[in-house]
Amino acid sequence: MTKFEIFNTKPKTYRLSDFDYELPEQLIAQFPSEKRGDSKMLLVNRQNGEITHKKFTNVIDFINPEDVLVINNTKVFPARMVARKDKTDAEVEVFLLRELENQIWEVLVKPARKVRIGNKLYFTDELYCDVIDNTVSGGRVVRHNCDPKTFMDYVMQEGKSPLPPYIKRDSKPIDKERYQTVFAEKLGAVAAPTAGLHFNREIINAIQAKGVAIVTITLHIGLGTFRAVQVEDLNRHNMDSEHYTISQETADIINARRAQGGRCIAVGTSTIRALESSTISDDSVNPQNSWTDKFIFPPYNFQVVDAMITNFHQPKSTLMMLVSAFASRDLMMKAYSIAIHEKYYFFSYGDAMMII
């Protein structure tokens, strides 16, 4: 290579099709593992390219006492509701997306073409909502007729878990427990931070016993996590905004551990997006109570995340692009090929990957 070629080397520009791969349908996990922590884990070393097979319980061995483990404590609420439309009594599915203000929610409805502004949607004879607006994404804005606590109590009791579209079955009672992390605390997500689903109390306690700091952030995952990228040019894709918070205490602990030589190990892509969104001008985490539409794809220089725990992601998804930005696209494609050959399970209820 000439000197001229060295100084004119540019990072490769990737397109949507670069993140495609063939996945046998039988490898899409339809149910959770029998017990939390029973999953397999593919260990990927981005420094030397080594890929090895582990059990998720082995994750403890790859976290050092000086490290900090960052988890997303968002809590999934049972957002899928059934209502009756006024006048016709037709059944309508109402998928709660987010509370915009007191008593007012953004929702998706199905069948959408039959639900218009002015309609009433009855959950019970007494509890209903008025459709008051349309959204640019094809949803509706509704106002329910009771106080927020009464409405949320009803949702928690009668709503169904909002399983991802690639899980081809109706939600079952087990999903209310297993499509939720053991550290879920802040209600507001319509999709689980699935990397966290592998952790049970025993694993968390064992990590803490080593001296590892475990801290929380909150990012409420929206349906945009499943939205397909429609453009080949990744610079033209826009992410949906999601609300996140990082406390001063969490920021201080992460920054202190990294300053002392420890690693920031992020559990899940939602945690990574929150942490990387919080940086301002240096390689440190800042407290935040804000919204992020950060889209991470290669090439990207990570500011604060040193290692990650994640699941296996859909072809051509923004999540696949994020992990490729962290470990390199070629290494990720190799890892996914190995995982498919070894019959790892993919997506939300699937097996885990740790990238160090």
- The residue from 90, 124, 158 where one domain ends is 158
Instruction: Write down the pLDDT at residue 136.
Output: 85
What mean pLDDT is reported for the chain? 94
DSSP state for residue 5 in the 8-state scheme: H
Q: Same domain for 231 and 284?
A: yes
Instruction: Write down the pLDDT at residue 47.
Output: 95
Cross-strand pairs, 122:
84, 128
CA distance 22 to 66: 39
| Residue 178 vs residues 115, 117, 161, 201, 237: alpha-carbon distances, Å | 32, 36, 10, 14, 32
Residue 161 above 60 pLDDT? yes
Residue 2 above 80 pLDDT? no
Residue 174's pLDDT band, with cuts at 50, 70 and 90, is: very high
Structure tokens at 231: 């453009």
The domain that contains 96 carries what CATH number? 2.40.10.240
Owning domain of residue 134: 80-158
pTM attached to this predicted model: 0.90
CA distance 310 to 196: 8
Instruction: Write down the pLDDT at residue 10.
Output: 59
Residue 168 forms part of a structural domain: no
Q: Same domain for 49 and 149?
A: no
Residue 269 forms part of a structural domain: yes
Structure tokens at 147: 């106080």
Residue 95 forms part of a structural domain: yes
Residue 169 forms part of a structural domain: no
CA distance 356 to 352: 13
- Helix, strand and coil in the chain, % to nearest 5: 30, 25, 45
Mean pLDDT over 330-336 rounds to 98
Residue 148 above 70 pLDDT? yes
Q: Same domain for 221 and 348?
A: yes
Q: Same domain for 196 and 315?
A: yes
Q: Same domain for 309 and 218?
A: yes
Side chain identity at residue 223, one-letter code? L
Determine contact, residues 43/121, Cβ cutoff 8 Å: no
59-63, 110-114, 192-196, 336-340: segment of lowest average pLDDT: 110-114
Residue 5 above 80 pLDDT? no
Q: Same domain for 185 and 283?
A: yes
Residue 109 above 90 pLDDT? yes
Residue 170 forms part of a structural domain: no
Mean pLDDT over 192-207 rounds to 98
Instruction: Write down the pLDDT at residue 307.
Output: 99
Instruction: Write down the pLDDT at residue 3.
Output: 45
Q: Same domain for 200 and 117?
A: no
Mean pLDDT over 183-203 rounds to 96
Residue 208 forms part of a structural domain: yes
Instruction: Write down the pLDDT at residue 8.
Output: 47
Is it true that the peptide bond before 165 is cis, omega within 30 degrees of 0? no
The domain that contains 54 carries what CATH number? 3.40.1780.10
Instruction: Write down the pLDDT at residue 192.
Output: 96
Instruction: Write down the pLDDT at residue 9.
Output: 52
Residue 276's pLDDT band, with cuts at 50, 70 and 90, is: very high
| Residue 102 vs residues 97, 142, 147: alpha-carbon distances, Å | 14, 11, 8
Q: Same domain for 208 and 308?
A: yes
Residue 224 above 90 pLDDT? no
How many domains is the chain partitioned into structurally? 2
Taking alpha carbons only, the member of 312, 266, 244 closest to residue 19 is 312
Residue 166 forms part of a structural domain: no
Q: Same domain for 248 and 193?
A: yes
Structure tokens at 302: 């990570």
